[in-house]
Amino acid sequence: MSQAVVAVFNRHVPRLKKGAGAEWTGFCPIHDEDPTKSKPSFGFNEDSGLWVCRAGCGAGSLRRFLAMVGVGDMSADAAVERVRHLLVRTDKAKPTFRKARFTSQDPLPRRMLGLFDPYLSDDLLYDGFSEKTLRDNDVGFDTHHMRITYPIYDVAGQIAGLVGKPVGRYEEGKYRVYTKSDLEELGYTQRLRFDRSHYLWRMHKVAKMCRDTDDPPTVIIVEGYKAALWMVQNGWEATLALQGSSISDEQLLFLQRLGCDLILFLDNDRGGWLGTSKIGYKLRGVPMRVATYPYKDARIQPDDLTQQELLVAIQESRSLHSWRREYGLTSTKFTQRTQQRSR
Ligand SMILES: [Zn+2]
């Protein structure tokens, strides 16, 4: 029994209820769960101090919980210090990335990249990307399907799947995931369906950068592959691409566990603004800022900016709150407007 641990949670979690063993449940204070609208999503274990919100706020230690409900560092440290001797240490308290959800169960062999010629991506060279940038990120060209290819690595650096951008007069268009038959045409098979929303592009590189250092980098989050390549080429090696303007539960969990400060740098258009608002809300508790575009009204994305403009956008990044105010995205009005649009 750790009354003191329960007392710490009780200060923040409405309607705590004792469950089986050392488990407790309540309404999640991190996302201000409304007791009239849902069942309790929050739970913790009084022996370990570990908690979880099943609605998507994440999971972690008591210290992390206090940070996520907005308790200042000094008070949180003091509160944890007072109960530290009561907490049973478990392996679960140290989440690692070596978990099934960040690791492909059916990776493609690395040798398949040998099929693709890195020097045929004329489109990207024309756009100002260097051969080195393309080579370092294994961007290639599939002459069979006429697509620029982007291997999507899992956190362990295995190829979880392949994405290609068709080029040429008639097939110009969207990025597409290589299907089973696309891969079979190249002589490879994949049993399980690859879901790219489980991964962030370049996650294996960035996880390593955040793990292997005492001075973690600030991680830049962009939408697309080209934006990420552009950031990297201009010196921001710790850049991840969402592969869109929304975030999946897996991606969210990855960013929450990364242990690095984040800067959201989505496209400067309606989709990017809505994505920034939503993702920023979901990432509450993780130190995060929003990059500012030099031209507020131009529909542009990071790879439209010069290195100097990128520098200013990053240096003048601001809190989600002040970014929203600057763009006039006051909560209810903006939500209504964007919902109407998407209807
Ligand atoms: Zn929650």
How far, in Å, from the CA of 78 to the mean position of ligand 1? Answer: 24
How far, in Å, from the CA of 158 to the mean position of ligand 1? Answer: 32
> Tell me, what's the pLDDT at 210?
86
How far, in Å, from the CA of 234 to the mean position of ligand 1? Answer: 37
> Tell me, what's the pLDDT at 93?
39
> Tell me, what's the pLDDT at 92?
46
How far, in Å, from the CA of 55 to the mean position of ligand 1? Answer: 5
How far, in Å, from the CA of 39 to the mean position of ligand 1? Answer: 11
Neighbours of 9 (CB within 10 A): 22
How far, in Å, from the CA of 49 to the mean position of ligand 1? Answer: 16
How far, in Å, from the CA of 208 to the mean position of ligand 1? Answer: 28
Q: In what order do the strands lie in the sheet containing 176-177?
A: 140-142, 147-153, 159-166, 176-177
Domains delineated in the chain:
3-93 (3.90.580.10), 110-195 (3.90.980.10), 203-342 (3.40.1360.10)
Q: Which two tokens stand for residue 49?
A: 């101090």
> Tell me, what's the pLDDT at 1?
56
How far, in Å, from the CA of 282 to the mean position of ligand 1? Answer: 9
Ion ligand 1: residues, CB within 5 A, are: 28, 30-31, 53, 55, 57
Neighbours of 40 (CB within 10 A): 21
Output the tens digit of pLDDT for each of the chain's 343 residues. Answer: 578 999 999 999 999 999 888 889 999 999 889 889 889 999 999 988 888 888 878 888 898 899 889 888 889 889 998 988 888 765 443 344 445 568 888 889 988 888 888 666 678 888 899 999 999 999 998 988 889 999 999 998 999 999 999 886 555 568 999 999 999 999 998 888 889 999 999 999 999 898 877 778 999 999 999 999 999 999 999 999 999 999 998 899 899 888 889 999 999 999 999 999 999 999 988 889 999 999 888 899 999 999 999 999 999 999 999 999 888 876 555 555 555 554 4
